[in-house]
Amino acid sequence: MAHKVFLLFLVFTSLLAIVTVALNGFGYYVTPTHMRQFREDFEMMKPSGNYSHGLGIVGASMIIIGVSGYSTRKRVKTFWTLGKLSRWLEIHIFLCLLGPVLVLFHTTFKAGGVAAISLWTMLSVSASGIIGRFLYAQIPKNLQGNELTAAQITGELDRLSVKLSSSPIGDQLTRTIYKSFESLPKPKSIWEAIATFVKLASLRRAIRRQARAMIAAKVHSHQEAHELQVTATAFASLIQKSLVLNQAGKLFYYWHAIHLPFTVIMFITLAAHVTVTMLLGYRWIF
């Protein structure tokens, strides 16, 4: 429940920020570029103006914090116990999706030269990040957010199976879940994996509905029903991810090989843009 509230908070904050910024400058943004200089708010709303310049600084800072924070938590062993990696990833996604949007408003939807390269690279990194988040979700992980090995996956499946089989309804749920996945073989190529991802999405929803209906019909204790639902969902999710584990890992590897260079280019062009801006004498409120 706390996790859902946290995610809702991030989504609500993002939407509120975007809507507020869009409404605040709506009149300026819809004004033709050649007419903007005649508006009373031109000095404040232009990319070098205090308002838009501030959006650029805040947006770029969010990206830097999002990338460096998640990267540090993931790679520096000292920080491995500092919260779940999945939570850091969610904050990383929040900052690195909202940040580029604020930078886009900073440009007032008009950019050229190094600024344009930095902007489009930034948007490309953000878009690819959404794909990466989907692939990352397909890889089984432990409570700390670290990837599970094949042996650990088998052990976890056995543990959940034993837990479910301790009751007649749980045993029935186990057989139902296994049967649902029987007709879906492990994909042997990347293209088969992509097709399997689509099938698994609808299959997962069907299994969840079926499990909920079975539990509701035969279990009257709310606590027992909740525990069975959580265990059955985890069991089905682990089987689902084990089916596409190898291909999901390959796709994630290829994605990372593309995402990382774009991120480096983004930071290089961002640094170049900031340097040129400062050399030309542009300052914010200081």
In percent, how much of the chain has pLDDT > 70? 96
Q: What integer pLDDT is reported at residue 65 of this predicted model?
A: 94
pLDDT tens-place string over residues 28-57: 999 998 899 999 999 999 998 999 999 999
Q: What integer pLDDT is reported at residue 16 of this predicted model?
A: 96
Q: Residue 242: pLDDT band by 50, 70, 90 thresholds?
A: confident
At residue 144, the 3 state secondary structure works out as coil
Domain spans of the chain, in order of start: 15-32+45-138+250-279, 150-243
In percent, how much of the chain has pLDDT > 90? 24
What mean pLDDT do residues 62-71 have? 92
CB atoms within 10 A of CB 188: 10
Q: What integer pLDDT is reported at residue 26 of this predicted model?
A: 94
CB atoms within 10 A of CB 19: 10
At residue 147, the 3 state secondary structure works out as strand
pLDDT tens-place string over residues 142-174: 555 566 777 788 888 888 888 888 888 888 888
Q: What does the alpha-carbon distance between residue 162 and residue 239 come to, in Å, rounded to a whole number?
A: 15
Task: Give one word for 185, left, alpha or beta, with left for phi > 0 and alpha for psi -120 to 50.
Answer: beta
Q: What integer pLDDT is reported at residue 286 of this predicted model?
A: 61
Instruction: Assess whether pLDDT exceeds 70 at residue 1.
Output: no
Identity of the amino acid at 77: K
Q: What integer pLDDT is reported at residue 146 of this predicted model?
A: 64
pLDDT-wise least confident of 20-24, 64-68, 113-117, 123-127: 113-117
The larger pLDDT score, comparing residue 2 to residue 99, is at 99
Instruction: Assess whether pLDDT exceeds 80 at residue 196.
Output: no
Instruction: Assess whether pLDDT exceeds 70 at residue 80.
Output: yes
Q: What integer pLDDT is reported at residue 169 of this predicted model?
A: 84
Q: What integer pLDDT is reported at residue 140 of this predicted model?
A: 74
Instruction: Assess whether pLDDT exceeds 80 at residue 279.
Output: yes
pLDDT tens-place string over residues 231-240: 888 888 888 7
Q: Tokens in use for 263?
A: 């991120």
Query: pLDDT averaged over the chain?
Result: 84
The larger pLDDT score, comparing residue 106 to residue 200, is at 106
Residues near 60 by beta carbon (within 8 Å), at least 6 away in sequence: 99, 103, 270, 274
Q: What integer pLDDT is reported at residue 167 of this predicted model?
A: 82
Instruction: Assess whether pLDDT exceeds 80 at residue 200.
Output: no
Q: Tokens in use for 168?
A: 């007649």
Q: What integer pLDDT is reported at residue 155 of this predicted model?
A: 86
